[in-house]
A and B are shown apart, each in its own frame.
Chain A
Amino acid sequence: MSEPTKNYEHEVVSQREGAVPRDLLIYAVLVVCTLVSVASSYLSLGVANGIIVLLIASVQALLTLWFFMEVRSSSRVLQLSIFAGIFTLGVLFVMSLTDYLSRAWGSW
């Protein structure tokens, strides 16, 4: 975990170590996830179809955030800010969907 007072040069060197093989591995996982997602949409799984593809997309987004966008090596305050923003977005989704899906909106 890096802190704001840490030496910039040291931080840069530590981020470079093993970065290319790690990125290639993450890339391979992301491509496989895409292909699995496409394959799953051809299976008749009812409501689970939509849930599975969204879960896979969430895993891909988390991998991109954590590794490619280097949230893993960001400072605590930055990690907390990012988490707070995404959590707030999640709250807005859950509360809005709870309202829309539990009432007769759209039933005309």
Chain B
Amino acid sequence: MAERALPTTVPGAASEHPIAHEHAHPPYLRHHFETVAQQHEASSMGMWLFLLTEFMFFGGMFMAYLVYRSWYYPAFVAGSHQLSIVRGTLNTIILLTSSLTMGFAIHAARARNQRALVRNLVTTLLLGVVFIGIKATEWRTEWVDHHVPGLNFSIDDFVHPAAGVQALPLDVAEHVQVYFSLYFAMTGMHLLHMIIGLGLLSFLVFKARAGAYTQGYSASVEYIGLYWHFVDIVWTFLFPLLYLVSRHA
């Protein structure tokens, strides 16, 4: 084997790329991109690939839900009817509204309007906090009613229900635990994503107040906006699947 020649320049040294810094570019353009548009396109692709893995992650849980729902449908109807339709609908509208204000924040950043950017980011953040608050009251109700599998689940509500409600056979009542296991797993994972989203929004507010994102490049607001909308889409499916199971029955 021929002996390899030793390099004559030190990698990364200025002499290696003598023309690298001869052209002027905005501070937000990274060295390895030629144009801002190219940088934006590449980072958008990265964010979307991440979101697609998230779609797959939640897809597995939705798949499990659909299979168990098809097997134990009467138990899923009984479990679903324990949830508050008012609080579920209210939370859905709150999350949709937060998606709207997140969109407004992106428009404000593009228009280089710092005040509107901060205002819309804070509104989105507050709506997220309200969503989590309402969700917490729902979880508390499930705890008080003994609907938490593995911790305090009781089949009494289903085997000996209140007057006017049809009692479930013992085996069907036991299967209601499957519904609530999936309910807590899916809403819990959604809640975790909401909390991460609130952390990201707080970071954006902090940076936006210091003048970031309104200097001509608002990509970070766009990407966290994409994440927030994704969390909204997950809830768009969770709500009908968990709350709206044959409400007429």
Contact = CB atoms under 8 A, between A and B. Distances in A.
A70 B92 CA distance: 21
A39 B239 CA distance: 13
Given A15-B110, A23-B100, A64-B229, A38 B85 contact: yes
Interface residues of B, number: 56
Interface in A52-79: 53-54, 56-57, 60-61, 64-65, 68-70, 74-75, 77-78
A20 B233 contact: no
B229 A31 contact: no
Contact of B71 (A23, A97, A106): A106
B143 interface: no
Contacts of A38: 85, 89, 244, 247
Interface in A67-108: 68-70, 74-75, 77-78, 81-82, 85-86, 88-89, 92-93, 96-97, 100-101, 105-106
Given A5-B37, A82-B52, A68 B103 contact: yes
A5 to B, nearest CB: 6
Contact of A85 (B55, B93, B97): B55
B93 A31 contact: yes
Nearest to A11: B37
B226 A69 contact: yes
Contact of A93 (B63, B89, B111): B63
Interface of B: 35-38, 40-41, 44-45, 48-49, 52, 55-56, 59, 62-63, 66-67, 70-72, 85, 89, 92-93, 96-97, 99-100, 102-104, 107, 110-111, 216-218, 222, 225-226, 229-230, 232-233, 236-237, 239-241, 244-249
28 contacts: A4-B37, A8-B36, A8-B37, A9-B216, A12-B110, A16-B107, A20-B107, A23-B100, A23-B107, A37-B239, A42-B247, A44-B248, A49-B244, A49-B248, A53-B240, A60-B236, A64-B229, A68-B100, A69-B230, A75-B41, A78-B41, A81-B45, A82-B48, A85-B48, A85-B55, A100-B70, A106-B67, A106-B70
**Which 8 pairs show the lowest CB-CB distances between chains A and B?**
A85-B52, A106-B71, A53-B240, A41-B244, A4-B41, A8-B36, A41-B247, A8-B37
Interface of A: 4-9, 11-13, 15-16, 19-20, 23-24, 27, 30-31, 34-35, 37-38, 40-44, 49-50, 53-54, 56-57, 60-61, 64-65, 68-70, 74-75, 77-78, 81-82, 85-86, 88-89, 92-93, 96-97, 100-101, 105-106
